[in-house]
Amino acid sequence: MISYFQAEIKKYLIELKTYYPDHLVEMIITFFIFAILIIINKFNNSQSVYIGFIYWYLLSSLISEASVSISTEKQMGTLEQLLIKPIKFEYIILIKSLVWFLINFLKVQMIFLIIKMIFQINLFFDFRILLIFCISSVGILGFTLFLVGLTLKYTKVASFESLISYFLLFFSGAIIDDESLPKWAIFVGDILPIKRGIQLSTNIVANNHINFIEILLFVLQAIIYFSIGFLTFNSIYLRSKDDGIDRSY
């Protein structure tokens, strides 16, 4: 498992070196989006926007990479080789997602340092925020497994990852607060683990009290999302092993 993790890191580093213009353009676009959000929220000093955007950027990348990678392998006809590797397929998905997440984490750190120097903003950091982010990641990983499972069944499902990403951006409250949203949109956002994570992290930054029930509901929500995603993935995966890879689009 460790050797596969190292191999994936080497693979992505080679990809970064080969396609660095694409990654550079992506970072520049992300920088401008982040800068615009800061300028828009300059007067109300809302740190929830900064936290929300970082949450969305990192967690949406956690959703996309594994499904896109599996879709590519499937179209190239090399997915079967991936399935017979001496490592569980779910571990492969986890490693791919983790490596891509780490790369995006480094990207957003670089962008944030530049933003911090230009706009001279200060963000309070607390290790509790890191813990909450990890819990959110568990819930979002459920989305990843769900999407990978559907990709095993229908090849082009991965094409919808951008739609899911922007769905999370809109409903999570990352850039739009609840006061500007209709009630039904607020309800949809409230059942997403990313929104609860943003809210709890913002409360920590603001030194607001967080009760045990809020944390418990948040953990329960993340477990439910992960369980649904894993059960869906496992069901389709086992069927694929028995019946062969479905080439449907």
The confidence score (pLDDT) of residue 231 equals: 92
What is the rounded CA–CA span in Å between residue 208 and residue 204? 6
Q: Which three-class secondary structure state does DSSP give residue 181? A: coil
The confidence score (pLDDT) of residue 51 equals: 82
Provide the pLDDT confidence category of residue 247 given band limits of 50, 70 and 90. Answer: low
Helices (H), 77-211: 79-83, 89-119, 127-153, 161-171, 183-190, 193-205
CA torsion angle 132 200 100 189 (round to 10): 130
Average pLDDT over residues 207-222: 88
Average pLDDT, the chain: 80
The confidence score (pLDDT) of residue 40 equals: 74
| pLDDT of 16 over the 60 cut | yes
The confidence score (pLDDT) of residue 218 equals: 92
Q: Whats the size of the chain, residue-wise? A: 249
Q: Which three-class secondary structure state does DSSP give residue 145? A: helix
The confidence score (pLDDT) of residue 124 equals: 64
Least confident of 22-26, 78-82, 142-146, 190-194: 78-82
| pLDDT of 179 over the 80 cut | no
| pLDDT of 4 over the 80 cut | no
CA distances from 181 to 46, 197, 246 (A): 17, 19, 40
pLDDT digit string, tens, across residues 98-116:
888 888 888 888 888 888 8
| Tokens read off for 211 | 């009760």
The confidence score (pLDDT) of residue 47 equals: 67
- Which DSSP string corresponds to 10-28? HHHHHHHHHTHHHHHHHHH
The confidence score (pLDDT) of residue 44 equals: 54
The confidence score (pLDDT) of residue 74 equals: 73
| pLDDT of 27 over the 70 cut | yes
pLDDT digit string, tens, across residues 144-178:
888 888 887 776 666 677 787 788 878 877 777 77
CA distances from 46 to 42, 170, 236 (A): 8, 17, 43
Provide the pLDDT confidence category of residue 45 given band limits of 50, 70 and 90. Answer: low
User: What are the extents of the domains in the chain?
Assistant: 2-243
| Tokens read off for 195 | 């929104």
pLDDT digit string, tens, across residues 195-207:
888 889 888 887 7
What is the rounded CA–CA span in Å between residue 144 and residue 161? 10
CA distances from 7 to 66, 92, 112, 144, 188 (A): 16, 11, 28, 21, 39
Provide the pLDDT confidence category of residue 222 given band limits of 50, 70 and 90. Answer: very high
Under a CB-based contact definition with an 8 Å cutoff, are residues 213 and 193 in contact? no
- Maximum mean pLDDT: which of 39-53, 61-75, 159-173, 198-212: 198-212
